[in-house]
Every structure is written in C-alpha cells, then in structure tokens.
C-alpha cells in the first residue's frame, strides 16, 4: 500500500499531536531530524513519501523511488524544492530534461508539470513544500 501525499498529511496533520520517533529532538521552536533515521523509518515499508514536518509555512518529507519505478506525481499547488540525497535519475519538466545525482537541488514552481524518469539507481530526495 502506497501512501499519497494527502494520506501522509492526514497521518501527520499536526506534528504536535503525534508521538514522534525517538530520533527527533524537540527544542522550544525547532526540531532536529537526521536523514539517516528518517530513511530508516521508510526502510522495508511500501512508502514512497514520508512527511516528517508540517508547520504553517512549510512541509518537509522524504520521497523515495526504486530503480525502474515510475514517478506517479501530479503538479502540486505549492512551490517546492527537492534535494537529491542519493541515487540517479532524470528530472523532466516543460523546460527539458536534467540528469540528477546526489547533491542536485531542484526548484519547481507551483502547478508546474514535472517528474522523475529513468530512475537508474534508487532515488531518495528531501522535499520542502511551501504551504499555501
């Protein structure tokens, strides 16, 4: 069973009301996450997108596609940034195709058609969405 972004948002609709995993450290107005632990939370589970932070101004998550997997995304209503943590793929948009590898950063405007294709190595991305 894959969780859609909407389903993930329902699961973590208010970060203050869920029991946070032990690797999330809460301070007064900040939270510290480790990519290693967040990725481990997804390991072996059929989750493509794991939203780990939702506050009024932004949402953050980890998006994972296995090598050869088709990216099911549709345009979003929010601006977003992707940071490639690991893997290799091609990013395609109406502006063309771009090869991606670890360290690549992609900005996508709200409602812009885009997706990841030719996923040649398992692809793991940090995703930051602006909230509407």
CATH number at residue 123: 2.60.120.10
* More confident: 11 or 108: 108
Is it the case that residue 29 has pLDDT exceeding 90? no
Query: Which residue in 128, 114, 115 sits closest to 65, CA to CA?
Result: 115
Tell me the CB-side half-sphere exposure of residue 111, using CA atoms within 13 A. 1
Task: Name the pLDDT band for 54 (thresholds 50, 70, 90).
Answer: confident
Task: Name the pLDDT band for 5 (thresholds 50, 70, 90).
Answer: very low
* More confident: 132 or 120: 120
Number of domains in the chain: 1
Alpha helices (runs of H) in 47-111, residue ranges in sequence order: none
Residue 48 bridge partners (DSSP): none
* Mean pLDDT across 97-119: 96
Chain Cα centroid distance, residue 119: 16
Nearest-angstrom CA–CA distance, 47 and 37: 15
* More confident: 48 or 116: 116
SS3 44: coil
Which range marks the domain in which residue 38 is found? 5-130
Instruction: Give residue 129's pLDDT.
Output: 92
Query: Residue-wise over 12-38: b if at least 16 C-beta within 10 A, else e?
Result: beebeeeeeeeeeeeeeeeeebeeeeb
* Mean pLDDT across 32-61: 80
């Amino acid at each position: 069973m894959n969780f859609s972004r909407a389903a993930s948002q329902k699961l973590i609709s208010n970060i203050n009301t869920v029991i946070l995993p032990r690797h999330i450290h809460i301070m007064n107005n900040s939270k510290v996450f480790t990519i290693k632990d967040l990725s481990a939370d997804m390991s072996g589970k059929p989750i493509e997108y794991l939203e780990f932070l939702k506050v009024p101004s932004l949402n953050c998550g980890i998006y994972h596609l296995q090598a050869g997997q088709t990216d099911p995304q549709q345009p979003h209503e929010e601006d977003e940034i992707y940071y490639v943590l690991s893997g290799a793929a091609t990013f395609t948009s109406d502006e063309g195709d771009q090869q991606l590898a670890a360290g690549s950063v992609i900005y996508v405007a709200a409602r812009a058609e885009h997706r990841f294709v030719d996923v040649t190595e398992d692809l793991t991305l940090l995703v930051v969405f602006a909230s509407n």
